[in-house]
Amino acid sequence: QSALTQPASVSGSPGQSITISCTGTSSDVGSYNRVSWYQQHPGKAPKLMIYEVSKRPSGVSNRFSGSKSGNTASLAISGLQAEDEADYYCCSYAGSGTVVFGGGTKLTVL
Amino acid sequence: EVQLVESGGGLVQPGGSLRLSCAASGLTFSSYWMSWVRQAPGKGLEWVANIKQDGSEKYYVDSVKGRFTISRDNAKNSVYLQMNSLRAEDTAVYYCASDGGPLFDNWGQGTLVTVSS
């Protein structure tokens, strides 16, 4: 049950695009298309942004997209906006009913 | 509107116990797996435990196995986390969330558990 690996921080200017990676193993990310992504603003509960690798819940902007290749999942955000500044966490099913999160990535909009 | 409201957090001494509750409304509670997720101060999210719709399956992160017990009461639309033998490293905000396997689409506001002497 080791945490998934995410970069500690990423940054971009308004209007730019960024990508956040999430690296797991063949026991979690690599084995299941059950990767989700969460946005968390300071002092707030997390918010689901992407589920099942690339699906967007109703109400989430189409500027957010997800993908996966092998043991690595990615979250892309296009047309960066100031309100996108937040912490982002990936999450994967890890087998035997268990779940693992990534360590989190702090997105700064310059 | 879905609401998940946690309660039961507080200050407890190492080795002590605490029971968290999460009351759900606005969703068909008995149709959802439910999870507890925690976040230590200034740290990332950590999944703690989940429970199947009928309570027949329960899973835990290794660090809490044998100390924490998740349970639910579908008649009361509630899920619980009994925490025993608490350690300093259990200090965190504990969130309950509806669990779609895993996609946590509804979250509570969290309840703070502080383990300290």
pLDDT by residue (tens digit) across B64-83?
999 999 999 999 999 999 99
- Nearest CA to A35 out of A18, A19, A49 is that of A49
A15: its two tokens: 């209007």
- Nearest CA to B38 out of B116, B117, B104 is that of B104
Q: How confident is the model at residue A3 (pLDDT cuts 50, 70, 90)?
A: very high
Site from A32, A44, A93, A99 to mutate, B interface, most B CB atoms within 10 angstroms: A99
Whether B95 and A46 lie within 8 Å, measured CB to CB: yes
What pLDDT is recorded for position A42? Answer: 96
- % of chain B surpassing 70 pLDDT: 100
Is 90 exceeded by the pLDDT of residue B100? Answer: no
- Nearest CA to A89 out of A103, A78, A77, A100 is that of A103
How far is the C-alpha of A72 from the C-alpha of A6, rounded, in Å? 10
Whether B47 and A98 lie within 8 Å, measured CB to CB: yes
Q: Residues near B54 by Cβ (< 8 Å), separated by ≥ 6?
A: B30, B74
Whether A97 and B95 lie within 8 Å, measured CB to CB: no
